[in-house]
Amino acid sequence: MGMKFEKTDEGRYRLNVNGYVCPHPQIYTKKALEKLASGDILELFFDNPSSGESIEAMIDNDGNTLVEKMVEAGQFEWHIQKA
Amino acid sequence: MQQQVASVATADTALAKMTLEEEGKRKKRLWALGLMGFFALISIGTFVYNEYYIYLSVYLWFGLIYGMCLQYGRFCFSSAFRDLFAIKVPRMLVGIVIATLLFGAVSAPITASGLSTFHAAPVSSHAIIAGVFFGIGMVIAGGCASSSLYKTGEGNMNALLVILSLSLTQALFADVGGWANYFVPDAWAQSALEKGLPASITVSDGWVDQYLAGYVWNQPAVTYAEVLGMPNASVSGAFVGNLLVGILIPAALLLAVVYTLYWRKGYRNKKQKEGKDVSGLKGELAGYWAMIIANKRTATAGLILGIACALHMLVIQGLRVKFGFRNAGTMLDRIGWDFGLSVQGTVFDPGYWYVTTQEAQWVGWTLQKMGVENLDNIYFGFVNGIPNPAINPADWMSFALIGGAAIIALYHNEFKFKKPTWETAMWSIIGGAFMGIGARLGLGCNVGAFFVRVANGDCSGWLFGLGMAGGAYLGVKFFNWWTERKLAKEFEACGL
């Protein structure tokens, strides 16, 4: 399965990078967040644990907010609000 | 009433789901215990069979500790450089620099006492070029040589593909001759012939052979202590030359550059929003310190790794004295495993943490069994041998490293069997091949040619690191282009 980015609602987008290993999830996330407007939500789906560490640090550095963080059996679903 | 029934049913479903999750976690923890028991059984069983096997078990148990630390600390050299350039996150680089420093601090007393098993590598611009190849490879592959091992332990089959590609490329590259000899400068060929290698080593046929004997071996192999005129195995040499000049000062400067370029702005913005005063030298120092302690998990893993690496050297040296040999080749010969020893009777037996050579060896051994003559090259035939992987000390370490990572991943419910896609498989194979070439040019990987060398005051360590950074930068540039190209269509479809 390849990368998938789609609009799910007004101001809400979904990025699915399941199956990808470093550095793809973090680079795709960075580029997607750059495109979003302030206040928009990015629903991020990934399954590479080490990418999560980098993405969390990037969110913090850039002043964005991790509004929801879910994990189940190695499957991560994070909701990020752009500052 | 219907609503009540529905909510009871929902609660029951949630409870069943939670019970299933708990059951899943319990099973994974049992698997972790089982793995630990498996390694214990190997150690006990082989020791009962022959006491010499304790030497291999030492590699095994230290490998297990390395794997646990790497997985716990998400210790990844690829991430260190790549995240800095790709997403401007210095977290892992800082953690790794601190870990290297801590390893250096633990190694210094061992070096001073003369018990270290470490030997400096030849230093010249070849280390930078090798680092560039390796750096490109580790970004494309998605992990360095050591992190690919621990990620395999997490169930990541992309990482396993990286290891296979890295191993095969090294074994083939070390033996490439024929057409490749045309690319050997005459001076190298002449110098290689003058080394007087045994007749079984066909030094005039093989690019890597002539690169090693005709160029690399002619370069000085020195530590910072020796450059400053101090004996390496002395208190002044180990602590002032190697630790202070070779590690502490360059590490502090590197961190200062990283702080200025990648950390300072974000830190100050955050603190100013919180209404904190960040002005003056006090504010700068507070920011610098915050960056250093930001990645406690990697630094903690690094400290344990450092202590384990140093203890590994001590224990191996102790066993060599106890059994009366200087290389495991002698031991293997004594217990009847004499196939695949080098012409000097040696095998690869670093006495400390190392990753890539044992990976090349198992492929070298397999190729030899398939009829490929590869004991005529320097890498296998003169130095490292190609012993059976089942009794190769360093292979025990790598095997256990994967196991150690699996134990921690299972325990923390992070183990997930992940199949490669065509795209990720392609990156794993290409990246692994680049790393394989880089590792053979640099006589080691991110661990053997950088981490261990820098921590032991070897002058070539930082040069390899510089090359790795350059290669990682190129790799990131490539992936930026690749991901932008793929996202462009998706953005357009969303009207962005």
Residues B105-149 have pLDDT tens digits of: 988 999 999 888 889 999 999 999 999 999 999 999 999 999 999
Q: Which of A5, A50, A73 minimises the CB distance to B416?
A: A73
Q: Which residues in chain B have their CB less than 8 angstroms from residue A49's CB?
A: 74, 154, 414
Contact with chain A for residue B484, Cβ under 8 A: yes
Number of residue pairs across A and B with CB atoms under 8 Å?
116
Residue B3 confidence class, pLDDT cut points 50, 70, 90: low
Residue A58 to residue B400: CA distance in whole angstroms: 33
Average pLDDT value for chain A: 91
- Beta-bridge partner residues of A77: A45, A70
For an interface test with A, which of B87, B140, B489 has the most A Cβ atoms less than 10 Å from its Cβ? B87
Positions of A marked active-site = 22
Q: Are B476 and B82 in contact (CB under 8 A)?
A: yes
CB-hemisphere CA count at 13 Å for B139?
28
Q: Are B167 and B364 in contact (CB under 8 A)?
A: no
Residue B493 to residue A35: CA distance in whole angstroms: 13
Q: Which of A6, A31, A61 minimises the CB distance to B266?
A: A61
Percent of chain B with pLDDT over 90: 77
Contact with chain B for residue A12, Cβ under 8 A: no
Neighbours of B235 (CB within 10 A): 14
Residues B74-100 have pLDDT tens digits of: 888 898 999 999 999 998 899 889 889
Residues B105-114 have pLDDT tens digits of: 988 999 999 8
**Interface contact A2-B423, CB threshold 8 A:** yes
Strands in A12-16's sheet, in edge-to-edge order, are A4-9, A12-16, A41-46, A75-81, A65-72
Model's pTM, two decimal places? Answer: 0.91
**Interface contact B87-A5, CB threshold 8 A:** no
Q: What phi, psi does A12 have (nearest 5°)?
A: -130, 130
Residue B21 confidence class, pLDDT cut points 50, 70, 90: confident
**Interface contact B494-A2, CB threshold 8 A:** no
Contact with chain B for residue A73, Cβ under 8 A: yes
Average pLDDT value for chain B: 92
Percent of chain A with pLDDT over 70: 99
The residue of chain A with its CA nearest to that of B298 is A53
pLDDT for position B10:
66
Contact with chain A for residue B89, Cβ under 8 A: yes
Q: What is the ipTM of this complex?
A: 0.92
Contact with chain B for residue A5, Cβ under 8 A: yes
Report which secondary-structure segment, H or E, holds A78: strand A75-81
Contact with chain A for residue B492, Cβ under 8 A: no
Does residue B1 surpass a pLDDT of 70? no
**Interface contact A20-B424, CB threshold 8 A:** yes
Instruction: Of B202-206, B294-298, B325-329, give the lowest mean pLDDT range.
Output: B294-298
Residue A71 confidence class, pLDDT cut points 50, 70, 90: confident
